[in-house]
Structures are given as structure tokens and as C-alpha cells.
Amino acid sequence: MERVLAWKGPDPVRVDAAHVTLRPDSLTARGTSAVADYAADWVLDTGAAWVTRRLSVRARGDGFVRSLELRRDAGGTWSAVRSHDGQPAASLDVAGLDGALDCDLGLCPFTNTMPVLRHDLVARARRGAAHGVELVMAWVAVPDLTLQVSPQRYTSLGPAPDGGAMIGFASGDFEATIEFDRDGLVRDYPGLASRLPA
């Protein structure tokens, strides 16, 4: 299944877009984000169970160009190489990511999809079955393209219109109730992004 999606974000004001190919237990996607100060583009590839294999990100703004190659091999080992402003590429610290299965690109409404699909949270929410999962993410800040370990919690809360689901999200002091569509793609993420009409 192929989907083309776009979202509008309020802070910073931006437009995000993604072309997604969803398979029974994996996906590939590419997307863009445009704000006043920079533009970013990314490519994401997962293996079985929607586990991240590769995230490539580039960010360009006035006076800077940055790129990041984030990878997870079949044995679960992460690696990250970042380059910026013409400097030689350098490896980033990936300590603490041993148990992580997913990447999470800052301000990107798409990268919430993988854990929701893996844990079948849309179907659970539609059945009214409260189910929470504790996860560790490889979180990428934009536009800096630095890497952090991010503990996160997703909880199925209840159904949403048109076969979608309401999913609770928490990370540190931040909490939100995100609306997903029936395919596990973000429809509305309060404060972050809302889907634009097709």
C-alpha cells in the first residue's frame, strides 16, 4: 500500500510531507519538512516487525548543511555518522540504544508509526483494550541532527473516527493524546502536526 501524506505544524510553523510504502510487516518512507529557517529531507527503511534499519537525514539552512546516517544492524547494534558544514564525518555516541528498535525524528509526525504498528495499538484501541508499552528510541534532534536516547510510552486509549485510534504518548514530562488513522499513521498530534486534506 502506498500513501502520500502532508501535515501542518504550529511550532515552528512548517509543512511536512511523506511518501510511504506500507508492507505487511515493514515499510519504507521518504519525507520533507520546510520551516522558515531550514529545510530537511529524510529516508527511512525498516526490516521485519517495522524495526528501523536506516534513517538518513539532511538539513539545510542559512549558513549550515548537516547530514546524519543512523543505522541498526541485524544484531541490534546502532551506528550514527554525522557531518556538518563541510567538516569530516564523525561517529556519534550510541550508548544506551542497545534495546532500541526505533528511530524518532524530531518534529516528524511519521516516525510514531513503527511502534504503533508493531504493538498493534490501533486494533487494541478500537477494541477498547488499554495496553501500554515502554520503549527506548533513538531520537534525532532537528535541525542539529544530534542523537539522544529517549524513553517513551505508548498506550492504546480508544477508537477514533473512520477506523482510527487514540493513542497516549509520554516522554519525560511531555504527554499527548495522538489520533492515528486505521493504517497507524498520525492524523492529529496536538501541538506538533495535523494532517492536511488529501
Three-state SS for 122-173 is HHHHHCCCCEEEEEEEEEECCCCCCEEEEEEEEEEEEEEHHHEEEEEEEECC
Report the phi/psi class of residue 184: left, alpha or beta, with left for phi > 0 and alpha for psi in -120 to 50: left
Distance CA 88, CA 16 (A): 29
Q: Where does residue 47 rank: exposed (0-12), middle (13-18), buried (19+ CB within 10 A)?
A: middle
Looking at residue 85, what is its pLDDT? 87
User: In whole numbers, what is the pLDDT of the chain averaged over residues?
Assistant: 96
Span 15-37, average pLDDT: 97
d(CA 193, CA 166): 15
Cell 490501533 sits at which residue? 122
What is the average per-residue pLDDT within 120-132?
94
Residue range 85-93: mean pLDDT, rounded: 91
Per-residue model confidence (pLDDT) at position 196: 97
pTM of the model: 0.95
The answer to whether 21 and 29 have CB atoms below 8 angstroms apart is yes
pLDDT for 198 beyond 80: no
Q: What mean pLDDT comes out for the span 147-169?
A: 97
The proportion of the chain whose per-residue pLDDT surpasses 70, expressed as a percent, equals: 100
Cell triple for 13: 510553523
